[in-house]
Chains A and B, each alone.
Chain A
Amino acid sequence: MDEELIGFFREPCSQCSVVNWGVTEEGGYYCKSCHNVIERTVEVTDPSCVTGSRVSAISHGAKKPAKQKHGKDWMVCEGFQFILKQQAEALLAMGVRPELKDDILCNFWRGYLHKSQQAYTTKPLYSVTSQQESDSCPESLAASELSCLSKAETESDMDGARSTISGWSSDGGRLSSVCTEALDSSLYCSARERRMHHLMTMPMTLAFLHLSLLWLQEAITLADLLRFTAEGHIPYINAYQNFPEDMKLFGRDALIFRVESLPSYKMVQEEAHNLAIFLDLPRFPPLTSACLLHPSLLCLRYLMELNLPDELHVWVCWVMQQAGVGKDTFLTYDPWAEKSGLLNYDILASALIVVTLKLLFKLDDQQEWCLSNSADDENKQNQDSSIFCFRKWYKTVQGALVVAKEAEEQAMARKSWKSQKPVYPSMRNKSVVIKRRRVVEQLQAQFQKLTGSDPQPRQDSPSSFRLRWGEEDGGGPSYQGRRLGSAVKKRKGSARPSNPTYWHTALSSCKPRHCTDHFLEMEDSLPRSYVSVLGMVSFLLGVQETHVHAEVCLLERLLFKRPCQPRTKTSHGSRRKK
């Protein structure tokens, strides 16, 4: 068998670019697909070998690379540990406190391994020795292992990868180890097992990071985390590429580690909540107003990003107070609290801004334009533009967003998803997969030469802000320092909005799980300017409009605790009065 030798020599054939080499008796390589014999002969890789005969040199050289190629036996959780470590390091490089990696994430991970019986336990979910001895003493197997084994057997008929491997291993024990998947990857392939033992998935790595960041009260919200992941600052797509040399991915490992899409906000949030419950985490450290995750500070950030005047912050804080969402009892995450889920701090903060805008400008497609007209008049009178004009702001931000959306779409179109090191689904497919990868690389190189473009696109450094204002290459002029002007009236010493009314959608809360999303059916009936503002906010956060709308509804419910109100125009001059 000269498979080892052939595995060693991976250049494509010059005639047909297939990598499918055989070795002739003289020790020369020939292409199995087009029978092209090439000049190159098997090289003697072992310098200690001094035998003159070439044939013996082949057999001698054959063993050594085989031993090198023999990857270490490894478990899937080791792979995830490696990925988590890399992700944590990427976060540290962004300036997160070092406790994240060594203290918090590490402890979470250990706790997870223990709870899921993968390590730190006397009864491991999968043990190598019991697997090997299973033939001799099947009665000693734990129940879970039995199920895992039977699963593997039934699957082996359907799953080609498995049968191929067993086919190879029958040739000789050494060969089977040239390419092996992780020891316990069969466990991960059944959805039932995954659910039962709460096994790791790629989105769960982000859930781990999110929980750790939340525990540390770092300024990176979930939306930020997902954006950094999408931009490639946090390793996620093809994270397995950087595995150490002796951890070789093969067959089913691909199903576990290969990523073809990024998880959604909701999904990671749910995963994180489930994980917190599974880990039996205590109440998180209280979230006080000094924390960067506190809505009042997050709002400051989003106001800046949305190019809204700072003066609005007072109103946002006031709304926050009225709704009672600024207290640490409300904000602190407790996995075991009743009716609890993870709070989405970023969406909450942006919803606060939307509610404030509705309060001041009403956003009913009329009032805000009237106020803009009066702001324009005031500016004309004062011969400057110190008063915030909703119309101008809307035009600026909307224009910048259209550009940003287009750029995002183009970036998505150019995004690279496939790994440099492909994972072979089975031994038989190996040559095909390698060949295809090679062809892709050759095609890319050819077209790069043709276009004269740079193979490695430059990557921007991670930033909390997607849009910049008031700079030369920014999206437009900055409205940060503008005053609200006639949108706010002074009466009896206290300020109140000059807009007298507030509209909202039905406040009655729906049954959870029965109907969740009314935004799509309502969208056409909502005022356009409100929908546009939702669109801006949701684009900045990278979530869907419906999430922001749901959060706005929730806030309104908290503000006017009056259930079962149809869509009304509520006058609430007295309510708002401090």
Chain B
Amino acid sequence: MITNGCMLKSFKVTEEKGNPLPPQREKKPKTSPCVLRCGTAYGNLLAMDDISAEWMTSPVRDCGSDNDVSNDDDDEDDEEEEPIRKRSKWPDLPIPAPWYGETSKETGFHRSSRLCLNQIRECLLEHRWQEAAEYLISYFQTLEEISTPRQLLATEIIFRLGSEILHQHPNSKLEDVNHFFDLMKNTGVRGYLKISLEHSFHLLLTGNFDDAVRQLTTAESWRYGKQSAVQADKMKLIHAYRGFLSYLSWISKKGSSSEDDDGDVSAIQEMHTYFRQACISLQEILKLPGVWDPFVVGYVNMLEFYNDHEGALNVLKEYAYDSRFPPNPNAHVYLYRFLKRQGSTEKKQIRVLKILGALVPSHELMLELFSLLLESGTEQSLKEALDVLFNLLDDCSWKHSVAAWTCFRNMIKLLRRKKLKHLLEEGWETRKDWWPAFHFRTYHARADFQLSRQLLLMKVVVASTLVGNKCMYCRRKNELENEREARRMIKTHKKRKR
């Protein structure tokens, strides 16, 4: 299962450049719901909680009674003659949708659909695709739901369940999937673009790159009265992905043309066409606030290839510093890498990394920041470097990192040499009540020793400096060392005997 990595951890993951994977595989941080996101991850389909969440959060406009056959309930196809008039009556506030759970007034039909959904959910969680598909046959009737909010919800649920089941069912073929997506597109015209996008993701997953491109091209030219205007946001995404796929084609062309150096003119021209296509769409999407990591990487990659370093720098700066965009650590990572590639001054690099450190103190690039700061060598920068280290080791994931503790040990040595040990006190002041329990317990020593002796030795230096020679960690270390020594003695003794 592919997950749309949203954890802090994903910040550490570096992206491989020019890897023609479906873009939703790339990990990116979570964004606030008000901004667009480029990955409507196909992989999320399995997460059934999302469906429940959808139930809770989908905007409701009409909570009228279910038997109410109001006029504009089914007018999605007549949108041209019937403007979306009633909708304005209900403000688009983020009120939670009604939870269609069990109530005393529940009709038999709704009870059936609720039970059916539960059954499908169970089946999916236990990977019983056949049974899930059988239940889904019964669940299709919810498409004929009378009340609009429920109907829209049913479309969404059926689309998600159906595509997941078809994706996993042993008997399903590509034609089935295509047929299903086509049907779903025409059932919910309101979700046409979204379903098209998901369709192309599915095609990418199954390796049908050209079909995916075709799918997006069709979606790009889709017009349906007012519906296409309503889905303008989705349209932008479609354009962006279309551009991204052009970028991927560009990469494959680049790879093939670099192999034979003769430089086929037509191939270069084709490559340039892809470049222009990708540029136009990617430029557009990058103007909108959002998290566009794969797009930015692709765009910058192309610009660099054509030696437009100025343009690439501007794009990255815009992406990192524009306040309309949500805070995105990756933006700073890209900018830093770009600067490093370009060989710009250390000062600039440090500035970028400091911002990144403010966002994610435990980012793996912090070690680089540390060494950059050490190189400059002033007292101020030493103090900052120490802060960076302290912050880094506050995080659980760095607890057993030999590199980090080695840096700390070196730092202490350096401070001793420069007679600046008082700098340690400041960082230690806030941590002295919890770091001993967090890092320097007896069992930490044992665990560290099992992990690597190097780690133990590094940490002991730090512990004895910060906590004191007689701390638990140091005592335990001594015991462990003694044991080790004893064992070595016995071994050598035995050897000698032999």
Contact = CB atoms under 8 A, between A and B. Distances in A.
B116 interface: yes
A450 B183 contact: no
Nearest to B141: A418
A443 B77 contact: no
A439 B143 contact: yes
A33 B130 CA distance: 36
Contacts of A418: 109, 141, 144
Contact of A18 (B66, B169, B186): B186
A451 B133 contact: yes
A436 B69 contact: no
A537 to B, nearest CB: 22
A451 B134 contact: yes
A418 B143 CA distance: 10
A160 B71 contact: yes
A255 B69 contact: yes
Most A CB atoms within 10 A — which of B77, B78, B166, B180?
B77
Contacts of A451: 130, 133-134, 137, 171
A452 B130 CA distance: 9
Given A429-B74, A433-B74, A447-B136, A417 B187 contact: no
Most A CB atoms within 10 A — which of B112, B169, B182?
B112
A310 to B, nearest CB: 37
Interface stretch (A108-116, A330-338, A406-414, A467-475): A406-414
Interface string A1-22: 0000000000000001110100
Contact of B138 (A160, A414, A425): A414
Most B CB atoms within 10 A — which of A18, A428, A429, A447?
A447
A435 interface: yes
A238 to B, nearest CB: 11
A17 to B, nearest CB: 5
A425 B69 contact: yes
Interface string B57-88: 00000000011011111111110000000000
Contacts of B78: 428, 432
Nearest to B72: A160
B75 A450 contact: no
B108 A440 contact: no
B186 A17 contact: yes
A450 B115 contact: no
B162 interface: yes
Contacts of B76: 432
Contact of A436 (B66, B116, B144): B144
Contact of B77 (A160, A262, A409, A432): A432
A437 B66 CA distance: 18
A426 interface: yes
A568 interface: no
A121 interface: no
A262 B110 CA distance: 12
Interface string A440-461: 1011101110111100000000
B172 interface: yes
Interface in A1-56: 16-18, 20, 33
B277 interface: no
Contacts of B106: 261
Contacts of A17: 182-183, 186
Contacts of A262: 108
Interface in B39-53: none
A413 B75 contact: no
B74 A453 contact: no
A415 interface: yes
Contact of B67 (A164, A255, A447, A452): A255
Interface string B121-135: 000000000100111
B116 A414 contact: yes
A40 B218 CA distance: 26
B71 A426 contact: yes
B119 to A, nearest CB: 5
B231 interface: no
B77 A435 contact: yes
B425 interface: no
B14 to A, nearest CB: 41
A413 B119 contact: yes
A297 to B, nearest CB: 32
A431 B119 contact: no
A65 interface: no
Given A260-B107, A429-B74, A410 B137 contact: no
Interface in B154-204: 158, 162, 166, 169, 171-172, 176, 179-180, 182-183, 186-187
B187 A261 contact: no
Contacts of B317: none
A142 B182 CA distance: 56
B347 interface: no
B226 to A, nearest CB: 14
Contacts of B416: none
Contacts of B482: none
Given A450-B169, A450-B176, A254 B69 contact: yes
Most B CB atoms within 10 A — which of A255, A412, A417, A429?
A417
B111 interface: yes
Contacts of A260: 66-67, 107-110
B108 A417 contact: yes
B343 to A, nearest CB: 56
Nearest to B82: A428
A433 to B, nearest CB: 7
Nearest to A12: B186
Interface string B205-223: 0000000000000000000
A417 B141 contact: yes
B115 A446 contact: no
A413 B141 contact: no
B119 A439 contact: no
Contacts of B171: 450-452
Most A CB atoms within 10 A — which of B72, B136, B138?
B138
Contacts of A439: 143, 183, 186-187
A453 B134 contact: yes
Contacts of B140: 440, 443-444, 447
A432 B187 contact: no
A311 B268 CA distance: 97
Contacts of B176: 446, 450
Contacts of A417: 108-109, 112, 141
Most B CB atoms within 10 A — which of A262, A428, A450?
A450
B273 interface: no
A422 B145 CA distance: 11
A402 to B, nearest CB: 16
Nearest to A237: B108
A413 B172 contact: no
B74 A261 contact: no
A416 interface: yes
Contacts of B162: 443, 447
Contact of A432 (B74, B136, B137): B74
Interface string A371-410: 0000000000000000000000000000000000000011
Contacts of B401: none
Nearest to B77: A432
A16 B187 CA distance: 10
A299 interface: no
A161 interface: yes
Given A417-B109, A422-B144, A446-B179, 14 more contacts: A17-B182, A260-B108, A260-B109, A413-B115, A413-B116, A413-B119, A436-B144, A439-B143, A443-B162, A443-B180, A447-B134, A450-B171, A452-B171, A453-B134
Interface of A: 16-18, 20, 33, 160-161, 164, 254-255, 260-262, 409-410, 412-418, 422, 425-426, 428-429, 431-433, 435-437, 439-440, 442-444, 446-448, 450-453
11 contacts: A16-B186, A160-B70, A262-B108, A422-B144, A425-B69, A435-B187, A439-B183, A443-B162, A444-B137, A450-B171, A453-B137
Those 7 A-B pairs whose CB atoms lie nearest each other, nearest first: A160-B71, A261-B108, A413-B115, A261-B107, A425-B69, A413-B116, A260-B109
